[in-house]
Amino acid sequence: MKFQLNNKNLYVTGGVFGLIILFLALFLVWPLWNQIQNSSGELSSIKSETAGLQIQNSIIEGFKKDYPNYQKNLEAIATQFTDPQNPVGFITFLETTAKNAGLAPQVSLIENPTSKNSPTLSFQLVCSGSYEKILQFAEALENGPYLAEIESMNLKGPGNVDATFVINAFTK
């Protein structure tokens, strides 16, 4: 049998090879290409995460190395907070500071609705004295060893002034 090539056979053979190539492209190459793209995206994401973790690790290692230098400062900061279970030290500080300014203080712990969601204890300090002595007390409170803020200060009267302070002390 002699095989004779004619245009019809050429078109059929070309069509069959074309379909085979299209089939291979759609069902082998295309899924493989999508998988490669997905894998490269995941690889890029993993590389980014790894780089971020390496940076965090180097920061942590640097902090560990420098921690002895920070430790004294951290301990000093910790002493500036008022113990919420035993605020006697802060109350004593308030009384002593007021007496050193020439005031006769009355200190009480109060419930302050504005400080319910914050880590503070609220105190009311009532005293009377000259305006200068009251300002001296306020300045000494700001420069004291505790983290505290004067939330409000009410002053009444000329000469000898009656003062009411609401003071928030930050707790541990």
Each residue of 53-67: pLDDT tens digit? 999 999 999 988 988
**Residue 123: per-residue pLDDT:** 94
- CA distances 101 to 31, 91, 94, 97, 127, Å, are 83, 15, 11, 6, 11
Stretches in the chain below the pLDDT threshold 50: none
Instruction: Break the chain into its structural domains and give their ranges.
Output: 1-78, 88-170
- CA distances 72 to 80, 127, 171, Å, are 13, 36, 19
**Residue 139: per-residue pLDDT:** 94
We find that the CATH architecture of domain 88-170 is: 2-Layer Sandwich (3.30)
Sign for the CA dihedral angle at 87, 88, 91, 96 comes to negative
**Residue 32: per-residue pLDDT:** 82
**Residue 36: per-residue pLDDT:** 86
Asked if residues 50 and 42 have their Cβ atoms less than 8 Å apart, the reply is: no
CA 71, chain centre distance (Å): 20
**Residue 148: per-residue pLDDT:** 93
**Residue 5: per-residue pLDDT:** 60
This prediction's pTM: 0.60
